[in-house]
Amino acid sequence: MILGIETSCDETAAALVTDSGEVRASVIASQAELHARYGGVVPEIASRRHLELVGPVAREALAAAGASLEDVDAIAVTQGPGLVGALLVGVSAAKALAWSRKLPLVPVDHLDGHIASLYLDATPIEPPFVCLLASGGHTQLRAVRGRGSSELLGTTLDDAAGEAFDKGARLLGLGYPGGASIDRLAQEGDPTAFAFPVAKLAGLDFSFSGLKTALLYAVKRLEEAELDARRADLAASYQHAIVTALSRRVADAARKTGLDRVAVVGGVAANSGLRESLPDAVFAPLAYCTDNAAMIASAARFVEPLPYPRYLDLDVYASRR
């Protein structure tokens, strides 16, 4: 059994996952309410909150699984990418837990963790497939040809899709996290009311900065009363443009690679518009779309563990190497 720990951004999470991919427990303490007043994650605040929560969350996960540290065979932890201060809290806690019982430690790449969320529980998808990874910090297309290995096909050149949702929500005066706020409001609007641009790039890369600027100008052109009346249309049209960019690139990737199966992971995978636009795709379960430790423990099954005590000098990284 693997104890996973995830602290890359603003969720403090711990999970117990068996070697077969059964999730015995998954606990997530979100900081969304804490950061909502700032309209986004404040790294220093996130790090301090992780310090307070990582111990209690790990204990709660063990209790929920009816287990103790004596039942754990390995500790898995997110090494990066993410906020350095937040990552250091999780890695330090994982080192201490592993060292205390001379257990192996498995450093996991956060993005590989998102893909490994597809391998949890009773009906995992088996490679090969094209995977769209869309979250607050990352938007990528990957050709997954085996568990634990994937090839980068395309990435965002500026904002990630989730970041575009958050910035759009701020421009519209909505709450944080922005993706959920826009998704809810979009249900009341007309996605064709505003013709927002979808970037046309060579290859399989993404760009959302121009779309964000278009929304800014659209908001500035409206008087306050009209903005209130058309906020739902703006949200629906903005979401439609993001979803169109993602779904078109997925189709391009499937055609270029010859892989006819598509999977979608990451926080944006929870978006209702994206799910509707890719009806044949396999989506990560909603419980594992946002950052969680079950996906980290799942990915650890395909990573070579570091034996005791070789991991004591393990460091974190902010961006994917």
Q: Where in the chain is the domain with CATH 3.30.420.40?
A: 2-120+290-300, 129-284
3-state secondary structure of 133: strand
The angle formed by the CA atoms of residues 100, 16 and 315, to the nearest 5 degrees, is 50
Nearest to 265 by CA among 78, 80, 135, 158: 135
What does DSSP assign to residue 98?
Answer: H
For 206-244, the pLDDT digits (tens) are 999 999 999 999 999 999 999 999 999 999 999 999 999
pTM of the predicted structure, to 2 decimals: 0.95
Edge-first strand order for the sheet with 23-30 is 23-30, 11-17, 2-6, 74-80, 105-109
The DSSP string of 9-38 is: SSEEEEEEE-TTS-EEEEEEEE-HHHHHTT
Q: Which residues contact 169 (CB under 8 A, 6 or more apart)?
A: 175, 176, 177, 178, 179, 181, 182
Residues of the chain with pLDDT under 70: 122, 321
Domain 129-284 falls under CATH 3.40.50.2300: no
pLDDT score of 39: 80
Nearest to 294 by CA among 282, 286, 283: 286
Name the β-bridge partners of 210. Answer: none
Domain 2-120+290-300 falls under CATH 1.10.3720.10: no
CA distance 75 to 303: 12
3-state secondary structure of 109: strand
How much of the chain is in helix, strand and coil states, percent to nearest 5? Answer: 45, 20, 35
The tokens for 171 are 């421009």
pLDDT score of 147: 95
CA distance 51 to 88: 10
